[in-house]
Amino acid sequence: MYIFVWVRIRSLKNIFKDYFHHRNFSFFIIVFSIFVSTLGIYLAVWKGLNFLVSLGGIGSIIINKLFYILFFIIFFMIAISFSLLLYSFSFRNRETEFLISLPIPYYKISLCKFLEAVILSSWIPLVTLVIFIAGYVKISNLSSLLVFSSLIYFLPFLLISSFFGYLVYVVVLKFFSFKKTVIFAIFLLVIFYFIGKPNYKNTGDILYMLSDEIIFIKLSRLWFLPFSWVTRGLINLEEGKFLRSFLFLANLVSLTLVGISFILNKGGEIFLELFYKYSIPKHRGYYYKSSWEKVLDNSKLPRWFINFVIKDIKLFMREPTLWSQFLIFFGLLFFYFINLRKLSYHNLDPIWKNLITFLNTFSILSIVSAFGIRFVFPQWSLEGRNYWILKLSPLPLKKIYLEKFLFSSIVMSLVSSLLIFISNYMVQIERFTSYLTSSIIIVGSFSLVSFSLGLGAYFADFKVDYYLKAVESWGGFITLVLNFAYVVITAFIFILLTHFFILRSEMPLKRVVILIYYIWVAISVFLGLLLTNLGFKKLKAKEY
């Protein structure tokens, strides 16, 4: 195992050295961005918790619920992300084939891939959790030792989440086809729904909202599931009930050990079986024209445009890691939004409804931003070895750029506007906020796509053969920071503005909101055009 760790560390060291010696400016920007992002998240958490503490008793109850929900969400986020990463690392990575041809025991290759996926899927949640705890410790005047001791709880929790993802990965890949997987996912959702179903009638008042009867809170507090053990362990630790806290830690550690021993004993065997099943094509697939293709074929749109759109849709649909992420993340949001009525959010005070609507807008834009980085950014790099076809074709690069932009932004804005429409309808928000959030979503989607595509063109690397490699590059990092900053600033401005608007409900303030909205649109368009221009020029000048 040591040698695998050595290879990763060496590679990282060489990348680091390269940036430090040859790309001083890039290195400085990366360090600075990491520092500013961490500080920004810490300040946001600190401010948010401060606000909740200022509410008194209700605030403490909300913080308590937040802890449960945070670990609940992170558990599933890591599990989903882990299973997709493990699939990519194992069967979409040429390193696997190389390692299998060497005299290395399969369980070691499997363990190496497992740990790699654990680290990559959980480092962001880990940083988020530490920042959250650090903010909480500061607000509650607790000992900073709590931050360090909470790490003892986090690490087994991250491994258990990954192990859950591993089980899903094994079950789906080993036994299921696409149809069976969808049925399995619906079955799991139904089970969770019945476990989390409220015992009492939904009264919709604040006491009900703060009780444990809300489906997500109820699920997050289930005593027999590991995400509640962390929260319970930490709450007991904070209250000085060390023995109880240790009991939950022991639960976490023992489940982690079960997971590790399973991977060590069965991991190699499962890995090899799945490698033979998925890594090498097992049949010659025959693909015929589908009906959607025929519809597009017969449309009045320009021929070149149709052909590129058909190619992009096909490539997207034939890469399971791409469409599955798209389905999972937008699907989860969809599931959450259509259940908003059950959560009685439409009965809340306008100020809370407004906050929920903008948080929903923020979550949709965050997912659009993430998809911008994952799908739109690598598009130019993935043209890779085929770029000469584009370069030699009589079709101007401008048209190809336009197709990529229109295709991605129309798809993204359609999906996201449908989601915000459902959210607004369910929350029964008033017309002004509804129009505002919808237009923010549409402009935001177009902007995020133009940022990602522009930077993708600027940092295009034709040597990459898989989309994750492009995403992990320096350009991918810059796009991540820029997209994330854009989403956070947008959410922050509009939440604050509309908050004041509702508090005071005066016409001049409404005009201010509209004015700020126009300025925001202008800045978005300007940034989009700037990055498009930069990327396009660089791409055009690029030598193959």
Partner 1 sequence: MFVVRAENLYKRFNEHWVVENLNLSIREGEFYCLLGPNGAGKTTTLKLLVGLLKPTKGKIYIGGFSLDTMAEQAKKLVGFIPDTPFLYENLTAIEFLEFIGTIFYIDKDTLKERINFYLDVFGLEEAKNILLRDYSHGMRQRIIYIANLIHKPKVLLVDEPLVGLDPQGINLIKRVLKEKTKEGMAIVMSTHILQIAEQLADRVGIMDRGKLIVEGSLEELKKKIKEGSLEDIFFMLTQR
In the complex, which residues of this chain contact partner 1 (CB under 8 A)?
3, 6-7, 10-12, 14-15, 18, 94-95, 97-98, 100-106, 276, 280-284, 463
Least separation in angstroms between residue 479's CB and partner 1 is 21
Cα 401 to Cα 78, 308, 449, 533, distances in angstroms:
34, 10, 12, 11
Q: At what angle do helices 397-427 and 431-458 cross, to 10 degrees?
A: 150
CB of 89 to partner 1, least distance (A): 14
Locus of tokens 């693909």:
287
CB of 453: closest distance to partner 1 in angstroms?
A: 25
Write the secondary structure of 149-184 as one string of H (helix), E (strand) and C (coil): HHHHHHHHHHHHHHHHHHHHHHHHHHHCCHHHHHHH
CB of 497 to partner 1, least distance (A): 46
Q: Closer to partner 1 by CB, 57 or 103: give it.
A: 103
CB of 391 to partner 1, least distance (A): 20
CA-to-CA distance for 118 and 274, rounded, in angstroms? 19
Please, what is the minimum distance in Å from the beta carbon of residue 105 to partner 1?
A: 6
Output the smallest distance, CB 22 to partner 1, in A.
Answer: 11
Nearer to partner 1, 283 or 303 (CB): 283
In the complex with partner 1, which residue's Cβ is closer, 6 or 32? 6
Residue 233 has, within 13 A of its CA and on its CB side, a CA count of 24
Q: Closest approach of Cβ 109 to partner 1, in Å?
A: 11
Neighbours of 446 (CB within 10 A): 21
C-beta of 316: minimal distance to partner 1 in Å? 25
Cα angle 509, 499, 501; round to 5 = 20
If the CB atoms of residues 99 and 247 are measured against partner 1, the closer one turns out to be 99
Instruction: Select 12 or 206, whichever has its Cβ closest to partner 1.
Output: 12
Q: Looking at beta carbons only, is 6 or 432 nearer to partner 1? A: 6
Closer residue to partner 1 in complex, CB, 285/508: 285
Judged by CB, which is closer to partner 1: 276, or 432? 276
Closest distance of CB 91 from partner 1, Å: 13
CB atoms within 10 A of CB 486: 20
Q: Which is nearer to partner 1, 96 or 424 (CB)?
A: 96
H runs (alpha helix) in 176-241 = 178-196, 206-210, 215-220, 226-238
Output 238 or 465, the one with its CB closest to partner 1: 465
* Distance between CA atoms of residues 19 and 389, nearest Å: 32
> Cβ of residue 275: shortest distance to partner 1, in angstroms?
9
Q: Which of 436, 376, 437, 430 is nearest to 407 (CA)?
A: 376
C-alpha count within 13 angstroms, C-beta hemisphere, residue 376: 34
Provide the 8-state DSSP code for 461: -
Q: Which residues contact 135 (CB under 8 A, 6 or more apart)?
A: 42, 45, 46, 48, 49
What would the two tokens of residue 231 be? Answer: 């929260």
Q: Compare residues 11 and 505 and give the one whose CB is closer to partner 1.
A: 11
Q: If you ran DSSP here, which 8-state letter would residue 224 be given?
A: T
Distances (CA, A) of 93 to 11, 278, 325: 16, 12, 18
User: How far, rounded to the nearest angstrom, does the alpha carbon of residue 425 sit from its chain's CA centroid?
Assistant: 25
DSSP 222: -
Residue 472: which of 93, 125, 129, 91 has the closest Cα? 93
